[in-house]
Structure formats: C-alpha cells, structure tokens
Amino acid sequence: MNAHILLVEDEVKLARFVELELISEGYRVSVAHDGMAGLTLAREAMPDIAILDWMLPGLSGLELCRRLRSTGTKIPVILLTARDEVGDRVAGLDAGADDYVVKPFSIEELLARVRAHLRRNQDGSDEVLFEDLRLNRRTREVYRGQRAIELTAKEFDLLDYLLTHPRQVFTREQILENVWGYDFMGDSNIIEVYVRYLRLKLEENQESRLIHTVRGVGYTLRQ
C-alpha cells in the first residue's frame, strides 16, 4: 500500500503544490492548514510520515510534533523551517523531529527526504547499505566489507548524508546546509577536506572509489 503522508502547512498555495507533487509520486496525502487540525488529522488518519511547517497558526509545528511524540507516535517527522529559525534546530530535535528542510526548498529535496525516511522506517533497522559499505546510525559503526572504519562525527554525518541518496549529486551548498547547518560560518572548502579524509579511510585497502566528484557541481555516492 502506498505510504500516507500528513502535510501541515498554512501557506495554502505551497501546501497545494507539495500535495500535488506527493500525489504524483504515488503517496496518499492528508493536508491541514493549522496545528490543531493537523493534530486531529494525525490521530484520525494514522499517517506513515508527517511534514510539519514550523510556524503554524494555533499550534506550532514544533508543539504539534511534541504532542505526537507524547502520545507515542513514532512516525518520521520532517519540519519545514524558515532560514531564520534554523538556529532553533535543537528545539526541534528536542521536540522529536527527525529532519529539517529549510525554506525555500526544492521539491526534489523534500521528496528525497520523504523517500529516505520511509525507507529507513520500513526496514526497521538503523542500517544503511551501499555496495560493500555498511553504516549503522544507532551505533555509528561503519564497515567496508569486514573492515571496520573509524570516522569522526562530521565524517560520519557527511557519509550518512551522501548514503541517504545514492547517485544523487549534491552541491557544496546542499552539503554545507544539511551536514554543517546554516549557522556554519567557515569556508566551503571544508567539504573538500572532509571528502579527502573520507576517501582515504574508505579506500585504505585499495577498495573502489564510492564518493565521486562531479566537476563544477559537487559530490555523489555511486559505484
């Protein structure tokens, strides 16, 4: 059965646009335009995943997320946030959100996140696989074949991000935004440095390259 998505967004035009995109991807969608209606819908419709705008009339997306969690709802929650709310990421995590998409977002990015969370939820495991690479989000262990690989926290996050959408090409901006966060003030060359570290560790035994540079665009994880 197709996954059921709860979308709570008070900008009616945006909500309609996202709803149509989700429907065309084959999802069933329930839409609410304020927090209280969203909460009611969440309880009635039993969605598989929720996309909640942060700023909502009545009940904020954050509060809505908190209430869902307090009733034991374990579905993935993606928060839509305006750029200036990004500093409050921690508040969102505390409320039990799994992910953020920063407005304005590309619909492809949102769809990719939805797919990734649904996939993660489906296998019920915290493990992500690609070729001979295995990453566990709960234990933060990484293996290439039988070989355990020690990664720093940021290296892990970067690899996890690339692994979420194999073969998709990410721009440096997307990577910075999603792995380092908007509050990161440093040089975007940091990504090159981290990719180099990751490659050294992933290819230590002359294994094939998995993280590829797409000239002039960014990086991708593929065979």
Nearer to Ca ion among residue 102 and residue 191 (C-beta): 102
Nearest to 7, CA basis, from 34, 43, 32, 44: 32
For residue 90, the minimal CB distance to Ca ion (Å) is 20
Q: How many residues bind Ca ion (CB under 5 A)?
A: 3
Answer whether 210's CB lies under 8 Å from 131's CB.
Answer: yes
Nearby residues of 48 by Cβ (< 8 Å), 6 or more positions away: 3, 4, 5, 75, 118, 121
What character string, x for contact with Ca ion (CB under 5 A) and - otherwise, covers 50-79?
---x-x------------------------
Q: Which residue number, 65 or 195, has a Cβ lying nearer to Ca ion?
A: 65
Whole-number minimum distance, CB 56 to Ca ion, in Å? 6
In the bound state with Ca ion, the residue whose beta carbon lies nearer, of 10 and 48, is 10
Output 58 or 166, the one with its CB closest to Ca ion.
58
Identify the residue among 6, 10, 51, 176 touching Ca ion (CB under 5 A): 10
Binders of Ca ion in range 35-54 (CB under 5 A): 53
Q: Is 19 in the site for Ca ion (CB under 5 A)?
A: no
In the bound complex, what is the minimum distance in angstroms from residue 53's beta carbon to Ca ion?
Answer: 4
The DSSP H or E segment spanning 40 is helix 35-45
Give the type of residue at 126.
D
Cα dihedral angle (54, 55, 61, 64), rounded to 10 degrees?
A: 160
| Of 51, 52, 54, nearest in space to 86 by CA | 54
| Nearest residue to 17 (alpha-carbon basis) of 96, 83, 80 | 80
Is the CB of 10 or the CB of 99 nearer to Ca ion?
Answer: 10
Which positions touch Ca ion (CB under 5 A)? Answer: 10, 53, 55
